[in-house]
Chain A
Amino acid sequence: NAGVTQTPKFQVLKTGQSMTLQCAQDMNHNSMYWYRQDPGMGLRLIYYSASEGTTDKGEVPNGYNVSRLNKREFSLRLESAAPSQTSVYFCASTPVWGNTEAFFGQGTRLTVV
């Protein structure tokens, strides 16, 4: 039982490049989330999907887009990467919206140069 799987684990981008972070969960959870974690700051919510077919902005959505491809998969896209997007990105899932006993992936460490 893998839980929440994120790919890639590490990535270096040049300013202006685009990329998509992939996330998949095998727990049949309805809700999925993307967070970023920066030194000295708590986890901040970028986007979330309360259920399949819906997505909404979180606290820091600028510069990102998301796609809830199906119930299992939730991707995060950076269209034109900026150095300020250097961070560790975590995907998480919960059985239903509002249930905050979240399961997190291992994270993607992204560096934008």
Chain B
Amino acid sequence: EDQVTQSPEALRLQEGESSSLNCSYTVSGLRGLFWYRQDPGKGPEFLFTLYSAGEEKEKERLKATLTKKESFLHITAPKPEDSATYLCAVLPSALRLTHNTDKLIFGTGTRLQVFP
């Protein structure tokens, strides 16, 4: 069964303390991996799409990387405004692409708190 697991569930960092969030996946094939940010009481906000192992994407203090089994979201010198829940989602491959196969599988997220 296709599955996405994120770790840790929660992470507390001091401002400026770099760290990484993990998203591991087991799918029959990967068409894409996506990172979203979710602030309390709001909907997820798209951050990155990664398609193949070795690919990296950066945005401000965030860098997402992808291997054949997992993705990391690296946070460099975080600030309090980076506090949020970070969601990972995968789009599995399918032998025949139909509407029924284009469905994201979401992880449960990592809740990040950055303290001044």
Contacts and interface: CB of A to CB of B under 8 A. Distances in A.
B43 A42 contact: no
A92 interface: yes
A100 B43 contact: no
A76 interface: no
Interface stretch (A66-74, A79-87, A101-109): A101-109
- A interface secondary structure, majority: loop
Closest 6 CB pairs of A and B: A104-B43, A42-B106, A43-B106, A98-B102, A101-B46, A104-B44
- B interface secondary structure, majority: mixed
Interface in A34-51: 40-45, 48, 50
Interface of A: 4, 40-45, 48, 50, 56, 58-59, 90, 92, 97-98, 100-107
Contacts of A44: 106
B99 interface: yes
Contact of A50 (B99, B107, B109): B99
Contacts of B91: 100
Contacts of B34: 100-101
Contact of B42 (A40, A42, A59, A107): A107
A111 B106 CA distance: 23
A100 B49 CA distance: 9
B46 A4 contact: no
Given A42-B4, A42-B107, A45-B104, A97 B43 contact: no
